[in-house]
Amino acid sequence: MILQTTDSTMAEAARRAPDLMGPTWICALDQTAARGRRGRPWVNPQGNFAASLVLRPEGLPAQAALRSFVAALALRDALAAVTGRPEALGLKWPNDVLLKGGKVAGILLESTGLGGRIDHLVIGIGVNLVAAPAATEVEPGAVAPVSLAAETGTTIAPEDFLNQLAPAYDRWERAFAADGFAPIRTAWLQGATRLGQTLIARTARDEITGTFTDVDSDGQLVLETAQGPRRIAAADIFF
């Protein structure tokens, strides 16, 4: 569904989720209170893409969370289709898509449920189609944001981008359902940015520096550090 305006597609999805029986995309042309990971504000001028996909997945929360990789692959495919520039795209753990080394898209997952089971999973996606935040609006040291229009000259309406993204997501979701995380992990690693290079992972408690060697079968980042391999479930990543 396409909405002219809402506070955020994530909030809209949460309100509508109990009444939705099947996978549903909610796309808004304007958001008044967009947000990203950890409640951070998400700058979303009109013309950029903002949508949330509502799912009712089977399985445990950890399995559902692996759909951030599914969404990243779908985003990469959709961006490659509209630009014709697959070589310019990269995947940054845990949930960003890069264009010429700058952040062009982000992914946010939220879920509801009881007793260790998922009721609804919402996958929020934002893409800088026409404009990117200023460098002063992002965390110091973070990857600089870029827009599709400025970097490639490609212009596309949010509704038309959804027409590329939705079938791309469906293809990868079907692969995930049929064969599990293994093929998703392999495909994601093939497009990963900075594999084999030094990264800094900042968690809620510490900062870890190491060589990015892998993403494991649980979706954790694997860094080779001076103390040995470290597996990281959640962190902000800096190059």
What is d(CA 237, CA 239) in angstroms, rounded to the nearest whole number? Answer: 7
**Residue 180 in this model has a pLDDT that exceeds 90:** yes
Please write the tens of the pLDDT for every residue from 48-75. 999 999 999 888 888 999 999 999 999 9
Provide the CATH topology of domain 198-238: SH3 type barrels. (2.30.30)
What is d(CA 28, CA 13) in angstroms, rounded to the nearest whole number? Answer: 11
Supply φ then ψ for residue 119, to 5 degrees. -90, -60
C-alpha of 78 from chain center: 13
Please write the tens of the pLDDT for every residue from 210-237. 999 999 999 999 999 999 999 999 999 9
Q: What is the pLDDT of residue 139?
A: 77
Choice among 26-35, 91-100, 147-156 with the minimum mean pLDDT: 26-35
pTM of the predicted structure, to 2 decimals = 0.93
Please write the tens of the pLDDT for every residue from 87-118. 999 999 999 999 999 999 999 999 987 667 78
> Angle 134-139-143 (CA atoms, 0-180°, nearest 5)?
70
Q: What's at 60, amino acid-wise?
A: L
Choice among 40-54, 91-105, 148-162, 177-191 with the minimum mean pLDDT: 40-54
Q: Where are the domains of the chain?
A: 2-188, 198-238
Instruction: Look at domain 2-188 and name its CATH class.
Output: alpha beta
For the segment 120-125, the average pLDDT, to the nearest whole number, is 95
Mean pLDDT across the chain: 92
More confident residue, 61 or 162: 162
